[in-house]
A and B are shown apart, each in its own frame.
Chain A
Amino acid sequence: GAVVSQHPSWVICKSGTSVKIECRSLDFQATTMFWYRQFPKQSLMLMATSNEGSKATYEQGVEKDKFLINHASLTLSTLTVTSAHPEDSSFYICSARWFRASTDTQYFGPGTRLTVL
């Protein structure tokens, strides 16, 4: 159990276009999902926290209008990179929080590699 999927796994787009990345919790309900960005040979940087039915909370320095997050249901959150530019090229990883009485864990998706030409 506790599987998180991301789609697409990789995407190449032209500069100026928008790209949507989906994050789904397949076998549990996630009231909270997180979006991370990982640069080559670097750590994961938290971009935003997404709560179902409410606006996302963005970390300092992350442009809200550039990275639109929608958490429409308990199993789906989407990240849209608007007007993408080459500097947005990165590995984007989502995680979903599964809260249970005995434990409380984030489960990570496999990531989406975005390349902006």
Chain B
Amino acid sequence: AQSVTQLDSQVPVFEEAPVELRCNYSSSVSVYLFWYVQYPNQGLQLLLKYLSGSTLVKGINGFEAEFNKSQTSFHLRKPSVHISDTAEYFCAVSVNFGNEKLTFGTGTRLTIIP
């Protein structure tokens, strides 16, 4: 079975500052990795995903993530955050191509401070 750890439950960041949200995973087989964002009272929206190829993945809203197999990590980064980035961010893994049976982390609440 696979698992996902998001060590930081809350991350406060000043507006226009950079941010990194950490995600580590555990799996005995190869995985596909995802980051989702959940705005208040809304469903999840896919930010980016890593399936194969380049380990640096660029997503929507200026976010990017880097897959590090040796460290089993998939940290999410943004060089300059905006108030509108305030949301809950979930890292997820799947061992099946096709985005099936996602295993989610517990989420990180990103709060942007004006």
Q: In the complex, what residues of B have CB within 8 A of residue A73's CB? A: none
From A34, A104, A106, A107, residue with most partner B Cβ within 10 Å: A106
Q: In the complex, what residues of B have CB within 8 A of residue A45's CB? A: 104
Q: Is there an interface contact between B43 and A4, defined as CB atoms closer than 8 Å?
A: yes
In Å, the complex CA distance between A44 and B88 comes to 12
- The interface stretch among B63-71, B72-80, B92-100 is B92-100
Q: Is there an interface contact between B43 and A43, defined as CB atoms closer than 8 Å?
A: no
From B9, B44, B90, B102, residue with most partner A Cβ within 10 Å: B44
Q: Is there an interface contact between B44 and A93, defined as CB atoms closer than 8 Å?
A: yes
Q: Is there an interface contact between B106 and A110, defined as CB atoms closer than 8 Å?
A: no
Closest chain A CB from B73 CB (angstroms): 18
Q: In the complex, what residues of A have CB within 8 A of residue B56's CB? A: none
The main secondary structure of chain A at its interface with chain B is strand
Check A13 for interface membership: any CB of B closer than 8 A: no
Q: In the complex, what residues of B have CB within 8 A of residue A44's CB? A: 44, 90, 102, 104
Q: Is there an interface contact between B42 and A43, defined as CB atoms closer than 8 Å?
A: no
Instruction: Evaluate whether A105 and B99 lie within 8 angstroms (CB atoms) in the complex, with A93-B44, A110-B41, A111-B43 already known.
Output: yes
Check A85 for interface membership: any CB of B closer than 8 A: no
For window 64-100 of A, CB contacts with B under 8 Å fall at: 93, 95, 97, 99
Q: Is there an interface contact between B44 and A108, defined as CB atoms closer than 8 Å?
A: yes
For window 36-61 of B, CB contacts with A under 8 Å fall at: 36, 41-46, 49
Contact with A along B14-43 (1 / 0, CB 8 A): 000000000000000000000010000111
Q: In the complex, what residues of B have CB within 8 A of residue A106's CB? A: 46, 99-100, 102
Q: Is there an interface contact between B46 and A110, defined as CB atoms closer than 8 Å?
A: no
Check A46 for interface membership: any CB of B closer than 8 A: yes
Q: Is there an interface contact between B98 and A97, defined as CB atoms closer than 8 Å?
A: yes
In Å, the complex CA distance between A110 and B39 comes to 10
Q: In the complex, what residues of B have CB within 8 A of residue A54's CB? A: none
Instruction: Evaluate whether A110 and B102 lie within 8 angstroms (CB atoms) in the complex, with A43-B107, A44-B90, A104-B97 already known.
Output: no
Q: A32's closest neighbor in chain B, by CB?
A: B100
Pick the 5 closest A-B CB pairs, nearest first.
A108-B43, A108-B44, A43-B104, A110-B43, A104-B98
* New A-B pairs, 12, CB < 8 Å, besides A43-B106, A105-B46: A6-B43, A32-B100, A42-B106, A44-B104, A45-B104, A46-B102, A104-B97, A105-B49, A108-B36, A108-B45, A110-B43, A111-B42
